[in-house]
A and B are shown apart, each in its own frame.
Chain A
C-alpha cells in the first residue's frame, strides 16, 4: 500500500530494507504526500535538517514517518537550493518542532508554517549564526547579545501562576505558566529547552563514529543506554551490520534493567508528589537492588559505557548470570508484595483516578508515545512493532488501558515492570553462547541509517548519515518526551491546581532528552494553533 501511495506522488526510492525505506520527493509533492501518509495511519517520528554541501548536494530536510500497521519507517527526503521548503505542519501537527529546529539550527525557511518565527537558540544568541551549518565550528562561542525583556503581555482576566524554571516539584529546569480561575486550571503554557548542550554538533565536530555511543548515553542519565543502542542500530543499519546473537541478548538484558529502574524511579516520584513519602522510600529501596545489578554487569550504576557499533564491550559470565537471576527473583517478590499493599489503598487510587485525562483522538493527533499512548488506548510498542535486538525471539505482553488518566499511566507502567522481570528471566536463561562483538567491518560514507528503540518513556528514533574518516556526517536523536510534552496542556485543562505537579509528572517527562537539540527563546509560546481544538487555546 505504501508503494502505491509513493508512486502516486512520484517518489524515487533511494534505499530500502525490510525495516525502513528512504525516498526522495519533489518539494511540491511533499505536503500532499504527508497528508496522505497521515491519513493512512503513519505518525511523524523525526525530522532532520541536513547541510549536505559536504556531500556535494544542497540543504535537505528528512522527514521520518512510522507506522505500526505496516511495520515500517519511511524516510522522505526533500532538497532545496535556496533554503526554502514547504512546511508540513498544517497537515501533520507533530512536525512543528522539527521544522523549527531546522529553521534555527540551519537557517532553512518553511513556507506555510503557522509560526515561522525564529525561536530556538537563547535570547543572547546573535542572529544569523546557525550552529549546525558546516562552516560553524563546534567550539565557537558567539558573543552574548543583550537579552530582550519578556514580551508576553500580562493577562488581567486570569491568574498566571509560574511553575519553574527552578521549582521543588521539578527536578529539571523547565518553566510552566499555569492560568487558573479559582482552583481550576484553564490553560497552560510550556517554555523550556534549558538543557541544550550542543550534542549533535559535538558528534559531528569532535568525535568519531565509535565515540558517539558514549555521548549518546549522556543524553539522559535515566534512559541513556537506550539512546546509545538506538545510535548503534542506526549506524549498523547504514552499514548493513548484524550483531552476534549473544550481544543482542545482552543488549536486551541491559535495556530491561534500565526500564525497570526507570519505572521504579517514576512510581516513587509519583508517590512523593502525592505526599505519600513512605511509598516513595519503598520504591527507591527496591530500586537500589536494580542499580546493584547494573553495577555488577557493567561496572557503573548509570552510564554503562558498554555498547559500540560492533556490539558489546563486555560479556556476562556464568556466576554473574546466576547471581542476577537470584536477585531478580527476590526483587520481583518484593515489588509484588509492596505493590499489593499500595494498590489496596483506596485513598491513593481515588486521588489519581480520572485526573489528567488524555483522550485517544488527541493522543494520536499529537503522536504521543510509549506508556502515555498505551494508557490512552493506543496499542503501540517498538519492541513488538519494529523488533530490534532479540525482542522478536522473546515473549512479552504490551499492556493497554483505555481510560487515559493518571491511574491508567501508573497501571501501564506497573504491568511493564512485571513484563520486564519476565523478559529479563527469559533473556538471561536463553542467552546463546558466542562472540559479543564484531570488529571486522567497514562503514561506507554518505549512507542513511535509522535506529529505533522503545525507551522507558516511548520511542527513541535516531537518524544517522555516515561521513568520511569514520566520522558522523549528521546525527539526530529524537526522544519520546519531545512528542509527549505537547499533551500536557490538554491533560491539565479543567483540573485542580493541586493536581498540576502529578499530571506533569505522569508523562514521566525527561527534559534533558528533549532539550539536547534546541533552546526556545524565553517569552515565546512553543505550540499553538494547529494541534487540535484543545491546543488552539494554548497560545492565546
Chain B
C-alpha cells in the first residue's frame, strides 16, 4: 500500500530518547519545511494516514501503542523512525522493552489477529532529517528503493558468512532474511 498524495502523520513516541522526535519536528522547520510537500503532523491518530513510531516500545507504552495503532484508519502505513523503532536499538533485549516494531507486529498478530501493514524502516541514531524525508518519499513512490535484501560474498568466505549469520540469529531477535549468492552467478 503506497500513498500518492499528501501524507498526514501521527507521531507516537513509544519510549524514544527524544532524539528522533526532535528530528521529526525538525523537518517541519524552515530548512526542510516539508509541509510544502504535503506532509503534516496531526494531533489524533484518527486523522492520520501514517503512524510514526520512535523508540523501542516499552512495556508501559505497549497497550497505549496498540490502541493508537488500531485507531489509525485503513489503509495505513507505518514509519519506523530510528534504530530503536526498527529493531530495538541498544535496548533490544532489555527487560523493560519489547524490542522494536517487528516484536510489536508479533504481539498484534498473536493477540489481535492483525496483519502488519506496509512499513518504512528509517534507521539511524537519530536518522538525519534528510533520511526521514527520503523514507516518506519512498512511501509515496517518489523514489525507488535501492536497498536489496541480498548480499554478495566470495565463494571462499561462504562458510564464515554462514557462521556469522547463525551467531547473529542466536543473539538478535530477528535479522533480515539474507541469501548468500555466489558472485558471477
- Point out residues on A near B: beta carbons under 8 Å: 122, 124-125, 131, 136, 138-142, 144, 147, 165-168, 171-173, 193-199, 201-202, 206, 214-215, 218-222, 224, 265, 280-281, 284-285, 288, 300-303, 510, 512, 519
Closest 3 A/B residue pairs (Cβ): A221-B19, A221-B18, A198-B96
Contacts of A284 in B (CB 8 A): 25-26, 29-30
Given contacts A171-B21, A197-B15, whether A303 and B68 have CB atoms under 8 Å apart is no
Contact with A along B56-77 (1 / 0, CB 8 A): 1011110110001000000000
Min Cβ gap A203→B in Å is 11
A-B contact pairs, 8 of them (CB 8 A): A136-B95, A138-B95, A141-B95, A167-B43, A220-B19, A265-B22, A281-B30, A303-B125
Question: B60 and A202: CB pair below 8 A?
Answer: no
Contacts of B61 in A (CB 8 A): 173, 194-195
Q: Is B40 an interface residue (CB 8 A)?
A: no
Given contacts A220-B17, A303-B19, whether A196 and B96 have CB atoms under 8 Å apart is yes
Partner of B22, one of A139, A141, A222, A519: A222
Given contacts A196-B96, A284-B26, whether A219 and B60 have CB atoms under 8 Å apart is no
Given contacts A194-B60, A196-B58, A201-B94, whether A166 and B12 have CB atoms under 8 Å apart is yes
Q: Is B121 an interface residue (CB 8 A)?
A: no
- Residue ID in chain B nearest A219 by CB atoms: B17
Q: A124-B59, A222-B18, A519-B60 are in contact. List 9 more A-B contacts (CB 8 A).
A: A131-B96, A165-B64, A167-B43, A195-B58, A197-B56, A197-B96, A285-B31, A519-B58, A519-B59
Contacts of B18 in A (CB 8 A): 171-172, 220-222, 510, 512
Contacts of A285 in B (CB 8 A): 29-31
Question: A302 and B68: CB pair below 8 A?
Answer: no
Query: Which residues of chain B from 4 to 20 have a CB within 8 Å of any chain A CB?
Result: 12-20
Contact with A along B31-65 (1 / 0, CB 8 A): 10000000000010000000000011011110110
Bound state CA distance, A167 and B91, in angstroms? 25
Q: Is B135 an interface residue (CB 8 A)?
A: no
Partner of B63, one of A147, A219, A302: A147
Given contacts A131-B95, A171-B21, whether A195 and B126 have CB atoms under 8 Å apart is no
Question: B58 and A194: CB pair below 8 A?
Answer: yes
Given contacts A196-B60, A197-B56, A198-B96, whether A221 and B16 have CB atoms under 8 Å apart is yes
Contacts of A142 in B (CB 8 A): 95
Given contacts A219-B17, A288-B31, whether A122 and B126 have CB atoms under 8 Å apart is no
Contacts of A125 in B (CB 8 A): 59
Question: A197 and B126: CB pair below 8 A?
Answer: no
Question: A512 and B17: CB pair below 8 A?
Answer: yes
Question: A281 and B29: CB pair below 8 A?
Answer: yes
Min Cβ gap B171→A in Å is 10
Contacts of A302 in B (CB 8 A): 19, 22-23, 125-126
Most chain B beta carbons < 10 A, residue from A124, A193, A301: A301
Bound state CA distance, A265 and B37, in angstroms? 24
Partner of B90, one of A166, A202, A221, A301: A202
Bound state CA distance, A202 and B99, in angstroms? 14
- Residue ID in chain A nearest B68 by CB atoms: A166
Q: Is B139 an interface residue (CB 8 A)?
A: no
Contacts of A202 in B (CB 8 A): 90-91, 94
Given contacts A166-B64, A288-B31, whether A519 and B96 have CB atoms under 8 Å apart is yes
Given contacts A172-B13, A224-B17, whether A139 and B95 have CB atoms under 8 Å apart is yes
- Residue ID in chain B nearest A265 by CB atoms: B22
Question: A197 and B97: CB pair below 8 A?
Answer: yes
Q: Is B140 an interface residue (CB 8 A)?
A: no
Question: B94 and A215: CB pair below 8 A?
Answer: no
Q: Is B154 an interface residue (CB 8 A)?
A: no
Bound state CA distance, A194 and B68, in angstroms? 15
Contacts of A196 in B (CB 8 A): 15, 58-60, 96
Bound state CA distance, A214 and B71, in angstroms? 36
Min Cβ gap B39→A in Å is 16
Contacts of B14 in A (CB 8 A): 173
Q: Is B102 an interface residue (CB 8 A)?
A: no
Bound state CA distance, A139 and B17, in angstroms? 20
Contacts of B126 in A (CB 8 A): 221, 301-303
Min Cβ gap B106→A in Å is 13
Partner of A173, one of B13, B19, B30, B89: B13
Most chain B beta carbons < 10 A, residue from A147, A172, A193: A172
Question: B58 and A197: CB pair below 8 A?
Answer: yes
- Residue ID in chain B nearest A292 by CB atoms: B31
Contacts of A140 in B (CB 8 A): 95
Q: Is B93 an interface residue (CB 8 A)?
A: yes
Partner of A288, one of B17, B20, B29, B96: B29
Min Cβ gap B33→A in Å is 9
- Residue ID in chain B nearest A195 by CB atoms: B15
Contacts of B25 in A (CB 8 A): 171, 284
Bound state CA distance, A519 and B63, in angstroms? 14
Contacts of A144 in B (CB 8 A): 59
Contacts of B13 in A (CB 8 A): 166, 171-173, 195
Given contacts A197-B91, A197-B94, A198-B96, whether A221 and B31 have CB atoms under 8 Å apart is no
Question: B58 and A221: CB pair below 8 A?
Answer: no
Partner of B55, one of A138, A195, A206: A195
- Residue ID in chain A nearest B96 by CB atoms: A198
Contacts of A214 in B (CB 8 A): 90
- Residue ID in chain B nearest A291 by CB atoms: B26
